[in-house]
Amino acid sequence: MKKFRFYQDQKVIKWERLFFEITAENIEQATAKVKELSNEDIANFNEKAIKIERIESLTDTGKIMDLGLNDGNPTLQIFNDNGQLIADNENAEPQGAYEVASISVEDLEQLGFDTTNIKNTTLQQIARKMVLSDVYWINLEHTAKKSGLKFKLNSNENN
């Protein structure tokens, strides 16, 4: 039998650890500078006060990116040895699934909440709790009925 070579490209989400040093007068100034940069990719800074030592890829945290996070574009592609695309996962999203919980800072501000120091993890926790709450499922049933969906004939529920 003959052997044929292929390769797979995959777009992944993973953590990387970047080790760096900051030149400052004292630890307080260095810490203040780190806090200023907390929302930035330190590897992109071209400052003499910041020196990148090394970057480690935390491979055990890797996960193949969902198509939804890549604007519906493929996140897995298989090529032949000549670089020709053979297959991808462009149409691999599970049928019948739709992302339902998306919370933004603006949503909370419209309700009157102070979002000055809110973190993305807090938004994620709120969205997760909303999906897990009983009220969500009651509202889902009510909204689905209002949208014209009917129960299956063998269902015990009334239309």
15 burial level (CB within 10 Å; 0-12, 13-18, 19+): exposed
Answer yes or no: is pLDDT of 158 > 60.
Answer: no
Query: What are the pLDDT digits (tens) for 86-99?
Result: 999 886 655 555 56
Contacts of 92 (CB under 8 A, 6+ apart): 67, 76
The per-residue pLDDT of the chain, averaged, comes to: 80
**What is the pTM assigned to this prediction?**
0.47
Q: What is the pLDDT of residue 133?
A: 67
Q: What is the pLDDT of residue 47?
A: 76
Q: pLDDT-based confidence at 21, cuts 50/70/90?
A: very high
Q: pLDDT-based confidence at 76, cuts 50/70/90?
A: very high
d(CA 114, CA 102): 18
